[in-house]
Structure 1
Amino acid sequence: MSETTPPQIGPVIQMARKARHLTLEQLAKLSGVSRSMLSQIERSETNPTFAVVWSLTQALNIEFSDLVSGDAVARKSALIDIVPADHVPLIASPDGACRLKILSPPALAGKTEWYQVEIEPGGALVSAPHAPRTREHFTALTDGIAITSGETTTALTAGEVARYAADVPHAISNTSDAVAGGWLVVLYN
């Protein structure tokens, strides 16, 4: 490669995607880059913008410098995959009262997902029904958590685990005067 030729990142993106067992569709959802654009990038038919490359590195959890140098796949094929704290995806409710850190790998989305949950006093994470037979497991790390599944509501104390149907309307609420939280595991059946 000459100094004026851009690096061929398409094959590196494709290897990183396949190493994570992601389809083009799944990577498109994770990155916000269209499936057709991803296909063109992987076949080296187009040179993506910096914004597109940034979205892909974030979705695949690879360093920009590793992508350009071609080291992305080798670094991630090690026995231990480290996600830097500032790269762990965070979801916040529109009112900011609930925050979920996505701890599960993207390849397990829609199968098994786990989250670190923090809820401000009086806040609630209210969910519509998930797919049939979906179950949630919530481990309270603090007092003040209430779990609602369908028509039933139960209070938890620190250390308790609630296992409940998530194919009905359900919610995790903070009934205390302090930030409350725990670990949430969602099992899709």
Structure 2
Amino acid sequence: MDRTAPPLATIAAALRRERERAGISLTELARRAGIAKSTLSQLEAGAGNPSVETLWSLGVALGVPFSRLVEPPTPAVRVIRAGEAPGIRSEQADFTGILLSVGSRHARRDIYLVELDPGALRKAEAHIPGSVEHMIVARGRVRTGPAAEPVELRPGDYAAFPGDVEHVYEALEPDTLVVLVMEHPD
């Protein structure tokens, strides 16, 4: 399976649903997210190849977690086999986010498996106010946290930091793998 192919049909339906829920036009959402209206139109049509950054911008503009834009409805028991979940690549760095679990409407938390390789630094814009990120390193080393004060983590290390400020992710070893839990306020 191509781990870099985003779930386009899910993204298209979610963008339309959330934009209509917010009661805003395509033009207004594009303006708020800082993307071209034509790009948003393509995404709502199930075309294009959105990056992590584009989807985060849209989520912030809509006031919803990233996961609400990429996660299909789930059955009662859900298993994701290693290597089978689709990932969404970053434009900035060798960074692929794989959404593993979405919080319910009452427990807004999402769980990601993130694969990183050394190279460019991934800069993440601030998420929804009150968001907190929790990271556990499974393999390799990573520098992460608020852009003003990132920390280095090794296998087994855990860190929590505000997700509502600009923050960074940087692999310090090849094949770095982390589990990222994002909490969002209600």
Q: TM-score, normalised by structure 1?
A: 0.55
Aligned-pair CA distance for 1:132 = 1.4
Structure 2 Cα separation of the partners of residues 159 and 108 of structure 1: 30
Structure 1 counterpart of 2:72, one-letter code: A
Is residue 141 from structure 1 mapped to residue 138 from structure 2 by the alignment?
A: yes
Q: Does 1:59 align with 2:46?
A: no
In the alignment, which residue of structure 2 is the partner of 1:151?
148
Change (3 A) 1:87 1:106: farther
Secondary structure, counterpart of 1:141 in structure 2: strand
Any unmatched runs of 5+ in structure 1? 1-28, 36-50, 53-57, 62-75
| Structure 2 stretches lacking a partner, 5+ long | 1-8, 18-44, 47-70
1:28-177 superposed matches below 5 A: 30-33=10-13, 34=16, 59-60=72-73, 76=75, 80-83=77-80, 88-94=85-91, 97-105=94-102, 107=104, 111-176=108-173
> 4+ residue runs of structure 1 moved beyond 4 angstroms?
83-87, 106-110
Q: Which amino acid aligns with 2:117?
A: E
Larger gyration radius, structure 1 or structure 2: 1
Match of 1:3 in 2: none
Aligned length: 125
Q: Give the aligned partner of residue 181 of structure 1.
A: 177
Cα gap change, 1:127/1:95 in structure 2, threshold over 3 Å: closer, same or farther? closer
Is contact 1:115–1:183 with CA below 8 Å preserved after alignment?
A: yes
Percent of pairs with identical residues: 20
Give the Cα separation in 2 of the matches to 1:88 and 1:162.
Answer: 25
Q: Look up the SS of the partner of 1:32 in the other structure.
A: helix
How far apart in 1 are the matches of 2:87 and 2:106? 15
Pair 173,142 (structure 1): closer, same or farther in 2 beyond 3 Å: same
CA RMSD of aligned residues (A): 3.3
